[in-house]
Amino acid sequence: MITGQELGGLGCSVKRKEDARFIRGQGKYVDDVQLPNMTYLHLVRSPFAHARIERIDTSAALEIPGVLAVITGEDLAKANLSWMPTLSHDQQMVLATGKVLFQGQEVAAVVGETRFAAADGAAAVRVDYEELPVLIDPHQALEPEAPILREDREEQTNHIFHWESGDREATDRIFSEADVTISQDMLYQRCHPAPIECCACVADWDATNEKMTIWMTSQAPHAHRTVFALVAGLPEHKIRIISPDVGGGFGNKVPVYPGYVCAAVASLTLGRPVKWTEDRTGNLSSTGFARDYHMRADLAATKEGEIRALRVKTLADHGAFNAAAQPSKFPAGLYNICTGSYDLENAFVEVDGVYTNKAPGGIAYRCSFRVTEAAYLIERAVDVLADELGMDAAELRRKNFIQPDQFPYETSLGWTYDSGDYEAALDRALEIVGYEDLLREQEEKRARGEIMGIGISSFTEIVGAGPGKTFDILGLEMFDSCEVRVHPTGKVLARIGVQTQGQGHETTFAQILAEELGIPVADITVEHGDTDTAPYGLGTYASRSTPVAGAATAIAARKIRDKAKKIAAHVMEVAEEDVEWKDYAFRVKGAPDRSVSMADVAFAAYTNTPQGVEAGLEAVNYYDPPNLTFPFGTYVCVVDVDKGTGEWKVRRFVAVDDCGTVINPMIVEGQIHGGLTEGFAISAMQLIDFDENGSIIGSNFMEYLLPTAVETPTWETDQTVTPSPHHPIGAKGVGESPCVGSPAAFVNAVVDALSPFGVRHIDMPITSYKVWKALREAGVAD
């Protein structure tokens, strides 16, 4: 009898199938695609944040040997392609017409025979600009003297939306009668996912067959195919999007960018393949940024520390176009998950979105549509309240957690949490870190004038979008899919609608199938990313692959099992009702030694089917989840502060995560390491900043800082397991939890370190300079 371990089923740390090519340098990324007659596209970008385009002179560029074409917004306008729809019901310029709205905006595209010709051509394009007043501070966007940025819109205002969730009056009432209230302003700064691979595409128009093939750095190839069909008017069956290996995404590769559209247009025009490879400067200055949420959190509590209500007011800076890549029905996405892990009487959230002269975006950077902002807000606010109450931060959390017997738990803002045991995760984390000892050590150190801090974050995540009724992209409901074929010899080819960017889908989805079909992982190939072959799916982001496509995979396998059971009965010459699937084989009830394996049945499915049963063994499932899943955990961070320079170092970081059923512990741990590192980076250094002219500071890795192995802490991970009751295998998704939950832990730790000096909050990224300033203001010096 074969075991789950031998199969590589659920819970096994199976080594990754995809690594065979990656460790040999044989991954195939978009820029690795080489086609005969390739041409190269280089974008001309605006040096100004807000300026009228007076003239674009392409003549010098066109004279450069090897330059084949220069495309401007005016050219695109003739084909009605100078604007394209965003994922948030706005529109965005492909190439600027009339004026530019942010520094780095795409103004023209130059196509050349070589990279050199394209770059030289781009350098030779002359654009005359008339500078316009620049709007950088979102707080000024709605002031009467603010310049109106979007002349294309009917409503001449910089206001994009107002959104409310919850009961304002009932919440205000609790605040007016509460023993204790706190109010804290906090900024979740503008940052950028910055995967190491920038965006790229190769567009290849086959004029004979009238077919457009586009290799693209895409987290959602099918959705992009539909967008191309709608925007460019190409028939959808004549568009093939291939998202090959993707060098990290983190939300950056969800939107459609102007470079893709320009490459497709250029290929259609020239009849040759066109490669566009973004440089890092273009990536950081024009593609999807994240956050830029200016938040105020108010908490009302009893003096004993019972949190009663949360009130949130937020100004959301969306940049020049509302291109927030979020498919929910709500303008601020899932931000009203901000009641977090706590059982509150009531809550009220309001968000106003505004335009500024910054790049568009607001993408879900390693998170689900504003959950990161929400988790940070509540976990930071709880610490501020603990400080106000003089209560231990762990104790305050424990006192207010939603209890295990309250699940499914409906929050006052309308989400239904599937399952959780928050106290268990907190207890485990405190035990591992040795919380009591740390508190003692901190007291001794403080007496000696040394500075250390302990920060806790007990977050609740929300992942796995759909359901389709709540989430859609341009009307496409957020289901996901899997198609499974079992070949006659018992080998499996499965294709999924989601697209990996390093998460290891070729392995973990094979493990789900191994578990469900009793076929070893080594005998299963999982493919994705090619819209001509994979079933329709909405892509990988928002930790939705396992919750949605993972469920589709399990259900498709179970469909196969249902059919296989009939064939198994036929092969074993017993009635179907006498057959059961047990220990990875079909067995005769009461006589488990009489069995056939799935491989045996597969052969029969093509050679010996019972009457009335179709030949073959294939299934497909499109899964629309009944609810989201709600992973959670507790993180504890310990920091030491250098009071001379203000530098802070993470000494310990304990992460206890609960993502329900674990498919591959090795991969889950890897995801947690990576997410924690991004959370650390955001809390410590990642910042897209602008000067008063709207010039971006942080458009390259000299100023947009990413941690190296030297700064990155060592992570201590552990888990609790609370399966999702509504997911076929109980899995919840994990890729984002550590990035969502950890920023508050770092900030809480540094603020805790400085709390004896009256510090209650510092905005991210917490630089040495900010810490130094706080210390000097409190009169502390080296």
Partner 1 sequence: MIPAAFDYHRPASLADALSVLDELGWDAKLLAGGQSLIPAMRFRLAEPTAIVDLNGLAELERFEEADGYLHIGALVRHATIADSGLARERYPLLADAAAVIADPLVRNRGTVGGSLIHADPAGDWGSVMLAYRAELAVRRVDGDRIVPIDELFVTTFMTSLEPSELVTSVRIPAAGTGQGGAYEKLERKVGDFATVGVAAQIALAPDGTVGAVGIGLTAVGATNLRAAAAEQELLGSSADEAAIASAAARAAAESNPSADGRGSEEYKRDMVRVLTARALRRSVERARGTV
Partner 2 sequence: MATTTSIAVTVNGTERSAQVEPRMLLVHFLRDELGLTGPHIGCDTSHCGACTILLNGVPIKSCTMFAVQADGQSITTVEGLTRNGDLHPVQDAFKEDHGLQCGYCTPGMMLAGAALLASNSDPSETEIRMAISGNLCRCTGYQNIVKAIQRASRAMAGNGAPERGKTEGGEA
- Kindly state the DSSP code that residue 714 receives in the 8-state scheme: P
**Closer CB to partner 2, 160 or 242, in the complex:** 242
Angle (nearest 5°) at CA 106 between 101 and 111? 165
Residue 336 binding: pick among partner 1, partner 2, none (C-beta 5-8 Å cut-off by kind): none
The one catalytic residue among 191, 198, 338, 367 = 367
The yes-or-no answer on residue 366 being catalytic is: yes
**Distance (Å, rounded) from C-alpha 703 to C-alpha 776?**
26
Q: Are 750 and 639 in contact (CB under 8 A)?
A: yes
> Which among partner 1, partner 2, none contacts residue 66 (Cβ within 5 to 8 A by kind)?
partner 2
Q: Please give the residues from 11 up to 50 whose contact with partner 1 meets the rule CB under 8 A.
A: 42
Q: Is residue 80 close enough to count as binding partner 1 by CB under 8 A?
A: no
Quote the least distance from Cβ 23 to partner 1, whole Å: 20
- At its nearest, how many Å lie between partner 1 and the CB of residue 220? 28
- Distances in Å between the Cα of 521 and the Cα atoms of 77, 388, 492 are 51, 54, 9
Amino acid at 668: V
Does 63 contact partner 1 by CB under 8 A?
Answer: no
544 is catalytic: no
Q: Which residue has the tokens 């897209």?
A: 688
Whole-number Å distance between alpha carbons of 293 and 334: 13
- Write out the residues near partner 2 by the rule CB under 8 A: 14-29, 31-32, 34, 65-66, 115-116, 193-198, 245-248, 250, 277, 279-281, 501-504, 522, 666-667, 669-670, 673-678, 700-702, 706, 708-710, 712, 714-715
Are 149 and 158 contacting, i.e. CB atoms less than 8 angstroms apart?
yes
Catalytic residue among 45, 190, 291, 366: 366
Is residue 707 within the footprint of partner 1 (CB under 8 A)?
yes
689 binds, among partner 2, partner 1, none (CB under 5 to 8 A by kind): partner 1
Of 172 and 689, CB closest to partner 1: 689
Category of 262 on φ-ψ map: left (φ > 0), alpha (ψ -120 to 50) or beta: alpha
Span from 116-124, 251-259, 260-268, 663-671 in contact with partner 1 (CB under 8 A): 116-124
Answer with the entry of partner 1, partner 2, none that 31 interacts with (C-beta below 5 to 8 A by kind).
partner 2
**Which does residue 714 touch among partner 2, partner 1, none (CB within 5 to 8 A, set by kind)?**
partner 2
Between 489 and 700, name the residue whose CB sits nearer to partner 2: 700
> What is 597-634 written as a DSSP string?
-HHHHHHHHHH-PPTT--SS-EEEEEE--SS-B--EEE
Q: How far is CA 701 from the centre of its chain?
A: 21
Task: Kindly report whether the peptide bond that precedes residue 467 is cis, defined as omega within 30 degrees of 0.
Answer: yes
Chosen residue from 123, 439, 522, 613 binding partner 1 by CB under 8 A: 123
Task: Give CA–CA dist 254/260, Å, rounded.
Answer: 12
Footprint (CB under 8 A) of partner 1, residues 748-767: 767
What is the CA 9 to chain-centroid distance, rounded?
Answer: 27
CA dihedral sign of residues 702, 708, 712, 717: positive
**From candidates 169, 614, 710, 714, binder to partner 1 by CB under 8 A:** 710
Pick from 645, 693, 756, 778: which binds partner 1 (CB under 8 A)? 645
Of the candidate spans 112-120, 218-226, 395-403, 756-764, the one that interacts with partner 1 by CB under 8 A turns out to be: 112-120
Q: State which of residues 65, 133, 592, 644 lies at the interface with partner 1 (CB under 8 A).
A: 644
Dist CA 681 CA 775 (whole Å) = 22
Least distance to partner 2, CB of residue 778, Å: 33
Is the alpha carbon torsion for 409, 427, 662, 743 positive or negative? positive
Residue 645 interacts with, from partner 1, partner 2, none (CB under 5-8 Å by kind): partner 1
> Which of these is catalytic: 278, 338, 736, 739?
736
Please report, for residues 318, 640, 683, the alpha-carbon distance to residue 711 in angstroms, rounded to integers and kept in the order given. 31, 13, 13
Residue 773, contacted partner among partner 1, partner 2, none, CB below 5-8 A by kind = partner 1
Considering only 70-78, 144-152, 367-375, 701-709, which stretch makes contact with partner 1 by CB under 8 A? Answer: 701-709
Active site includes 736? yes
79: left (phi over 0), alpha (psi -120 to 50) or beta: alpha
* For partner 1, the closer CB: 236 or 647: 647
Question: Between β-strands 200-206 and 579-582, what pairing exists: parallel, antiparallel or unpaired?
Answer: unpaired
* Residue 408: cis peptide before it, omega within 30 degrees of 0: yes
Q: Residue 17: name the closest of 511, 516, 554 by CA.
A: 511
Q: Tell me whether residue 367 is one of the annotated catalytic residues.
A: yes
Map the footprint of partner 1 across residues 254-293, applying CB under 8 A: 279-281
Nearer to partner 2, 35 or 232 (CB): 35
Which candidate in 92, 189, 219, 511 is catalytic?
Answer: 219
Rounded CA-CA distance 565/580 in Å is: 8
**Residue 69 contacts by C-beta under 8 Å, 6 or more apart in sequence?**
110, 111, 266, 269, 270
Residue number with CB closer to partner 2 (25 or 612) = 25
Q: What is the CA radius of gyration of the chain?
A: 27
Kindly give the residue spans of alpha helices, DSSP state H, lying in 293-365: none
Closer CB to partner 2, 13 or 533, in the complex? 13
Q: Report residue 45: phi and psi, to 5°.
A: -120, 155
Q: For residue 776, state whether it binds partner 1 (rule: CB under 8 A).
A: yes
647 binds partner 1 (CB under 8 A): yes
126 lies in the site for partner 1, by CB under 8 A: no
Positive or negative CA dihedral for 514, 515, 516, 519?
positive
Q: Is the peptide bond before 112 cis (omega within 30 degrees of 0)?
A: no
The residue ranges that bind partner 1 (CB under 8 A) are 42, 115-116, 119-120, 123, 279-281, 644-645, 647, 685, 687, 689, 697, 702-703, 705-708, 710-711, 767-769, 772-773, 776, 782
Report the catalytic residues: 219, 366-367, 736
